[in-house]
Amino acid sequence: MHPFAYVSPKSIDEAVATLNKHGDRARPLAGGTDILVQARTGRFDLDAIVDVKTIPELVSIKHDSNGLEIGAAVPCYKLYENAEVSAEYPGIIDAASIIGGIQIQSRAGLGGNLCNASPSADGICPLIVHNATAVIAGPSGTREVAVEDFCTGPGRNVLEKGEFLVSLKLPKPPEGFGAAYVRFIPRNEMDIAVVGVAASVVLDSSGNSFQSGRIALAAVGPTPILATEAGRALEGKPVNEQTINAAAAAAKEAAKPIEDMRGTVEQRKHLIEVLTRRMLNKAVERARGAK
């Protein structure tokens, strides 16, 4: 491992200054569960690592009537151990509960999961279906990017020199909202998604038809995919098998997987259809239960 310095800034500005000085020779450290492995195995050489957990905004959760803001370095367990957040944002809780084992969940969070920009990330698709935006700080101030636009390729994202992720903002879910995430893995834990599907729905007041829906797919493209057509297939339609199957078929269409050691193209496309169906049913169940 290339030797690097350890920097622990106390403010966002201080972190931006350090990151800007080193360019791509420095990276922020949140949970460290991806970056320390990558540094050790020589994915990149760093001169400095910037521990952002010493910045108050990065480790706080703000939850009020307007929505939820999760600091980029908040570890998974702080989400699923928070009963209010768990009740209102079930999709991200599904993900936070399955990223790594308990040890990993003590450190890893959704912010790091997003920045790592793995196509198979468990955290990104649920953020997308919860309409999350990424709050980014940089040399020219802060900006916000929709999570579905954040990743630009495997391991690549929109962050520019000196920029880093500060927080994730999730709007307050509307009435009739339900969301869920599941992945397919060969084991029951400690695995990378062969595919993952997040779905969210908004049901009308009767609970019997879809107002809208969002479906996002993991590990079937170079980035997590927002399956726009699949979500549109739900709009205004009755909640029934036919509607859900149509959305699942559209999700399968949107999936553009490759074959690797985790699965084949056919297997992944098939699983997308199966899991989309299951997640839509679960999201509906949650939407109805939440009423």
Partner 1 sequence: MVATFEPKKNYKVIGTRPIRHDGLDKVTGRAVYGADVKLSGLIWGAVLRSPHAHARIKSIDTSAAEKMPGVFSVMTAKDLPLAESKEVDLGEGTANFKYASNNIMASDKVLYRGHAVAAVAATDRYVAEEAVKLIKVEYEPLSSAVTVEQALAPNAPIILEDLEGDDLGDEVKNTNMAKHIRHEFGDVEGGFSKASTVVEREFKLAMVHQGYIEPHTATATWDQEDRIKIWTSTQGSFSVRTQVAGILKMDASRIRVTPLEIGGGFGGKIPIYVDIVAAVLSKKARGRPVKIVMERKSVFEGSGPASGGTVKIKLGVDDSGKITAGQADIRYEAGAYPGAAIGPGAMCVFACYDFPNSRIDGYDVIVNKPKSAAYRAPGSPQVAFATESVVDEICELGGWDKLEFRQKNASHEGTRRGDGVLFPRIGMQEVLDAVKKTEHWNSKLEKDGPDGKKRGRGIASGYWMNVGLKSSVSLSVTTDGTVALVEGSTDIGGTRASIAMQAAEVLGIPAEDVRPVVVDTDSVGFTDITGGSRVTYATGYAAYNAANNLVDVLKNRAAILWDLDESDIQFEDGAFSSKSDPELRLTFKELAGKLNDTGGPATSTGTVDLESAGGAFATHVVDVEIDPETGKTDVIRYTAVQDAGTAIHPSYVEGQMQGGAVQGIGWALNEEYWMNKDGVMTNSSFLDYRMPTSLDLPMIDTIIVEVPNPLHPFGVRGVGEVPICPPIGAIANAIHNALDIRLYEAPMNAGRILKALGK
Partner 2 sequence: MVQSAVEKVHVRTTINGEPMEFLVPPYMSLLDALREVVGLTGTKEGCLDGNCGACTVSVDGRIVDSCLVLGPEINGKNVETIEGMATADGLHPLQKAFLEEAALQCGICTPGFLIASKGLLDNEPDPSEDRIRHWLAGNLCRCTGYDKIVKAVRKAAVTK
Give the residues lining the site for partner 1 (CB under 8 A). 1-3, 41-42, 184, 186-192, 194, 260-264, 266-267, 270-271, 274-275
The footprint of partner 2 on residues 65-94 (CB under 8 A) is 77
Helical H segments across 54-109, by residue range: 76-80, 83-88, 90-96, 102-105
State the nearest-atom distance from the C-beta of 187 to partner 1, in Å.
Answer: 5
Q: What are phi and psi of 279, to 5 degrees?
A: -70, -35
Among candidates 124, 228, 106, 241, which has minimal Cα distance to 183?
124
Measured from the CB atom, is 201 or 248 closer to partner 1?
248
Q: Which residue has the tokens 């893995």?
A: 185
State the nearest-atom distance from the C-beta of 243 to partner 1, in Å.
Answer: 19
User: DSSP string of 107-157?
Assistant: T-BHHHHHHHT-TT-TTHHHHHHTT-EEEEEETTEEEEEEGGGTEEETTEE
Q: Enumerate residues 6+ apart whose C-beta is below 8 A from 115.
A: 28, 30, 72, 157, 159, 164, 165
Out of 13, 24, 144, 189, point to the residue binding partner 2 (CB under 8 A): 189
Out of 22, 107, 183, 282, point to the residue binding partner 2 (CB under 8 A): 107
Q: Of partner 1, partner 2, none, which one sits near residue 49, judging by CB under 5 to 8 A according to partner kind?
A: partner 2
Determine the Cα angle at 86 with ends 65 and 198, to 5°.
105
Q: Of partner 2, partner 1, none, which one sits near residue 106, judging by CB under 5 to 8 A according to partner kind?
A: partner 2
State the nearest-atom distance from the C-beta of 3 to partner 2, in Å.
Answer: 5
**Stretch 51-70: interaction string toward partner 2, x if CB under 8 A:** x-x-----------------
Q: Which parts of the chain are beta strand (E)?
A: 5-7, 26-29, 48-51, 61-64, 67-71, 133-138, 141-146, 151-153, 156-157, 164-171, 177-184, 195-203, 210-218, 225-226
- Interacting stretch for partner 2, rule CB under 8 A, among 10-18, 185-193, 204-212, 240-248? 185-193
Q: Of partner 2, partner 1, none, which one sits near residue 8, judging by CB under 5 to 8 A according to partner kind?
A: partner 2
Out of 64, 65, 186, 188, point to the residue binding partner 2 (CB under 8 A): 188
**Stretch 9-48: interaction string toward partner 2, x if CB under 8 A:** --------------------x-xxx--xx-xx------x-
State the nearest-atom distance from the C-beta of 204 to partner 2, in Å.
Answer: 37
